[in-house]
Amino acid sequence: MEFSALAQIYAQAIIDGTRTIEAVPVPFRSDTQAALTQLQSNK
């Protein structure tokens, strides 16, 4: 599944601990959450 580059960047920042899901702008949250789930399942 493909996500916007911005959602992927936000998801990586959450994994890195430099951003929280609450800090992600609302329009990007669902994509970011999905990208985050995918990133975590790939590890």
Predicted confidence at residue 12, as pLDDT, reads 97
Task: Give me the average pLDDT of each 10-residue run along the chain (43 residues).
Answer: 89 97 96 95 83
Say if CB 42 and CB 8 are below 8 A apart: no
The boundaries of the domain holding residue 10 are 5-42
Which one-letter DSSP state was computed for residue 17? T
What's the whole-model pTM score? Answer: 0.85
Predicted confidence at residue 3, as pLDDT, reads 85
Count structural domains, the chain: 1
Say if CB 28 and CB 14 are below 8 A apart: no
Predicted confidence at residue 1, as pLDDT, reads 62
